[in-house]
Amino acid sequence: MKFVQTDQAPQAIGPYSQGMVVNNMFYSSGQIPLTPAGTLVEGSIEDQTHQVFSNLKAVLEEAGASFSTVVKVMVFLDDLSNFDAVNGIYAEYFGDHRPARSCVEVSKLPKGAGIEIEVIALVK
């Protein structure tokens, strides 16, 4: 097992790591729209989603993975009416790559975020 840690994404806000690599698989912790400095992006769901993907890119790269090696994505929204907006941004980052995915509405997310995403990826 290897802990994944980068200053290019926000530090964990609890007793967990940004992610773990186990047997050539990367498991990310959920990323919310915090900047690497720890400030919550409180703008539109689009702004929040772009920040989440920026964070995911950083932890994936630190782990030796990328969006093209993601095999599973879990998306948590505090309002499922944002599904279409998030889906459009999601498509920008994954392009033609189509990992398995789930998307659910939850009542609350940490720090009042509107979105949280976690991924599982193959390490190159």
Cα 83 from Cα 15, distance rounded (Å): 30
Q: Is 103 a catalytic residue?
A: yes
Is 117 exposed, middle or buried, given 0-12, 13-18 or 19+ CB atoms closer than 10 A? Answer: buried
Task: State how far the alpha carbon of 97 is from the alpha carbons of 9, 15, 32, 51, 109, in Å.
Answer: 23, 32, 22, 20, 27
Considering 25, 103, 122, 123, which one is annotated as catalytic? 103
Catalytic annotation, residues: 103
